[in-house]
Structure formats: structure tokens, C-alpha cells
Amino acid sequence: MPDKQYRFIISGGGTGGHIYPAIAIANEIKRLHPTAEILFVGAQGRMEMTRVPEAGYKIIGLWISGLQRRLTVDNLSFPLKVISSIRKAYKIIKDFKPDAVVGVGGYASGPLLYAATKMEIPSLIQEQNSHAGITNKLLANKVDKVCVAYDSMYRYFPNAKIVLTGNPVRRDITELEGKKSEAMELFGLAPHRPTFLVIGGSLGARTLNQSTGSALEKIKEAGYNLIWQTGKLYFPEAEAAAKAFPADQVKAFDFIRKMDLAYAAADVVISRAGALSISELCLAQKPSILVPSPNVAEDHQTKNAMALVQKEAAVLVKDVEAAQYLWPAAFALAKDAAKQQLLRKNIAQLAKPHAAEDIVQELLKLIK
């Protein structure tokens, strides 16, 4: 029997934490239904307008942004942007005729999901964090299903709509076995040295970058490799600093496309505690030091991190203490094989490797 020609719209973005789960959902749809048509809807000028086409999908941009906390020209134009984006969303839906729509959070998902629910298109939202984003909170009463990654999300969403699926991540991160030598070759690192991986999220993290920049000499002297993902803003300074060290030992990148190989190369990971990063670390089963960002709603990165720390599945260093304690903690963990093994064992138990498949199955149930 031929595969049904499903049509889906996936909307949202703004940061990697929204974009990569969206792409993982799209990839899972294509794996299960290769002939499915998928259209992304994002916000003009945001990261998704580049990353989604790189992943092989078409995207249309809406003229939409968030409200700033201070009076700005953007705030004055916000009502106009909302009206314009909702009108465009109605047109996109009428033209594309989706069987169902998915929202992953971020500015664009608001107008798109609002229009879709008004048109009675089956709809689902996916919330990555332990603290729900404002767009998803506003949409929760309108959509048919809410897929979440943490318990206790009934604080934000109608309990009857919630399904605990975990966060969808790229399938290649679940398949790291046997990739170590390929990874060391790709990054051009000496294979005999243990490797640190520092990841500050898609936008970068000032604290991680400053702490790591200050530790470069010690990293070299102690005989470790470093893969350093800085984010675009911090990359020029980091790149200049890295050039002062052996090319087979310290490598700085603004963005890493082959994250599966970055994880495969790493012996110890230093990371922010965004929901997507946590989900990837659980699947990669890496000994990790988490430095939660203090610049997020209701300090939800600390809550994300504590969910692991309380189960002895990660080490926590507070952002305010990172300059003093981060790299001493990293060196201590790199030398402690027993602690690494404990963290690997415990973090593996928190992984949800079938999250993308579970979300797509919920989506298909809505259509049927």
C-alpha cells in the first residue's frame, strides 16, 4: 500500500534550543513517511532562516519579534507585526493545506499556531524546558496536544493534553559508538590526549568563554585537547587566542555542525544547562560539568541542571563562581576515572532516545 502523502507545517525558532528539536521532528516524520511534505515557518532575520535550509527543508519567514522590556521602536511596531504575521499565517496554511501543525516555541509559532487552531487544523506544541515559554503557555488552551520533557508541567498546561516524551534530538547523537577516531581526525586533534568539549549553546556564553580563555595555558600544560564552541559573538577573540596554541590541541569554532563527532571526541563536556543540551548529554552519556545561564526565565537552567545533579548524573558550577572554580573542577573530573564512570552510568538512565518518534506518533494520532 503506498505511503499516505502527509503534509506538515513546523513553526518556531529563535535559538538552537527550539530549532534543533524542530528539525529532529521533521527528520523523524521523513524517516517514517518518506513522501511527507514539510514546510517550516520561522521569524525573519532569526537563526532558523539559515539552519533549516541547511538541514534540507523549505522555510518561510514571518515579520515577528518579541516584546522588549524597555520602550523601543520594535515595541511600538509589535501590534502591527502580530496582525501582519497572523494574516500571512492564514495564507500559508490555505496554500499549503497541512494535515497537522507543530509549534516548538519561539516568536513565529504564535501567529502560525493561532491561525491553525482557528482553522481547526490538528495541532501540537512541544515544550523543551522545565519552565514553559510564553508562546507555548499562550497556545496551550488552543492546541490539541502538548509534548513535554519534564514532569510537573501541569503547572503551565492542561493536564489532559500533556504527554511526557522527552526532547527530540538528532538521531546521530544516539549513534556515537566507533566514531572516536573519525572525530579526532575531523577536528585535527592529537588522538593520544584526553579531550574537553566546551559548548555554550547556539548564541554562546560569555562566562564559559572568559573562563576557558583564561585556562588555555593550563589546558596545554596539563596535556589536554580542547574543542571550544564559542558562539558567533565571541568567536573572533577566541580564534585569536587559540592560534597561540598548538593546532592539534586547541580548536575554536563559532558553531559546530557535526555535534555527534564533537561528543564522540569528548572525554569531559562543559556546557550550559539548556534543555536541548541536557537531552543531548543524556543520550551521549558524557561526564559533564553544567554551568547554568543566569539570564533565563525563572532560572530554569539551574532547575534543569539540578534534575541531573540530584541523581549524581552531572557536576554543577554556578555561573557566578565559574571564573574561580570551573576549570579546577574540570581538571579534577578529567583525572577521576571512577567519578566519570558514575556520571556516565547515571546520566544514561535519564536519556529518552525515542522522543522524536513518540512526538510524531502523537501527531499522527491527531490526524487519524
Question: How does pLDDT run across 58-98, given as a tens digit for each residue?
Answer: 999 998 876 555 555 666 666 788 888 999 999 999 999 99
Rounded distance between C-alpha atoms, residue 27 and residue 25, angstroms: 5
| CA gap 143, 115 in Å, rounded | 11
Binding residues for UDP-N-acetyl-alpha-D-glucosamine: 15-17, 129, 170, 202, 256, 301
Q: Provide the residue count of the chain.
A: 368
DSSP 8-class letter at 226: E
Q: Tell me the pLDDT band of 292, cut-offs 50, 70 and 90.
A: very high
Closest by Cα among 24, 27, 21, 29 to 3: 29
Read off the pLDDT of each residue in 44-54 and give the average, rounded to a whole number.
93
d(Cα 57, Cα 53) in Å, to the nearest integer? Answer: 5
Q: Tell me the per-residue pLDDT of 313-332, one tens digit each, with 9 for 90 and over.
A: 999 999 999 999 999 999 99
**Residue 158 half-sphere exposure, CB side, CA atoms within 13 Å?**
12
User: Residue 261: CB partners within 8 Å, gap ≥ 6?
Assistant: 179, 182, 183, 186, 187
Q: Tell me how far apart the terminal alpha carbons of the chain are, to the nearest angstrom.
A: 17
The answer to whether residue 145 scores a pLDDT higher than 60 is yes
3-class DSSP state for residue 339?
helix
Fold adopted by 7-167+354-367 = Rossmann fold (3.40.50)
Q: Determine which of 6-10, 233-237, 335-339 has the lowest per-residue pLDDT on average.
A: 233-237
- The residues of the chain that CATH labels 3.40.50.2000 are 7-167+354-367, 172-348
Q: Residue 15: its pLDDT value, please?
A: 83
pLDDT band at 334 (very low <50, low <70, confident <90, very high): very high
Average per-residue pLDDT for the chain:
92
The pLDDT value given to residue 202 = 67
Give the span between the Cα atoms of 8 and 112, in whole angstroms.
Answer: 12
Backbone angles phi, psi at 58, to 5 degrees: -80, 145
Question: Domain 172-348: which CATH class?
Answer: alpha beta
pLDDT at 54: 94
Q: Is the pLDDT at 281 greater than 80, yes or no?
A: yes
| Distance from C-alpha of 9 to C-alpha of 99, rounded to nearest angstrom | 8
Instruction: State yes or no: pLDDT of 1 exceeds 70.
Output: no
Residue 170 to residue 280: CA distance in whole angstroms: 8
What was the pLDDT predicted at 72? 58
Show the 3-state SS of 304-321: HHHHHHCCCCCEECCHHH
> What are 199-249's pLDDT values in tens digits?
987 677 899 999 999 999 999 999 999 999 999 889 999 999 999 999 999
For cell 555554550, name the residue. 200
Residue 269: per-residue pLDDT: 98
Write out the H or E segment, with its range, that includes residue 267.
none
Which residues fall within 8 angstroms of residue 354, CB to CB, at 6 or more apart?
166
Taking only the tens place, the pLDDT of each residue in 303-315 is: 889 989 999 999 9
Please name the residues in contact with 79: beta carbons below 8 A apart, sequence gap of 6 or more: none
Q: Which range, of 34-38, 68-72, 103-107, 176-180, averages the lowest pLDDT?
A: 68-72
Binding residues: 15-17, 129, 170, 202, 256, 301
> In this predicted structure, what is the pLDDT of residue 161?
97
Q: What cell numbers appear for 246 in the block?
A: 598548538
- Output the pLDDT for position 298: 75
Relative orientation angle of helices 73-96 and 109-118, to the nearest 10 degrees: 50
Dihedrals φ, ψ of 243, to 5°? Answer: -65, -15
Binned at pLDDT 50, 70 and 90, residue 129 comes out as confident
Report how many helices (DSSP H) and strands (DSSP E) the chain contains, helices first. Answer: 14, 13
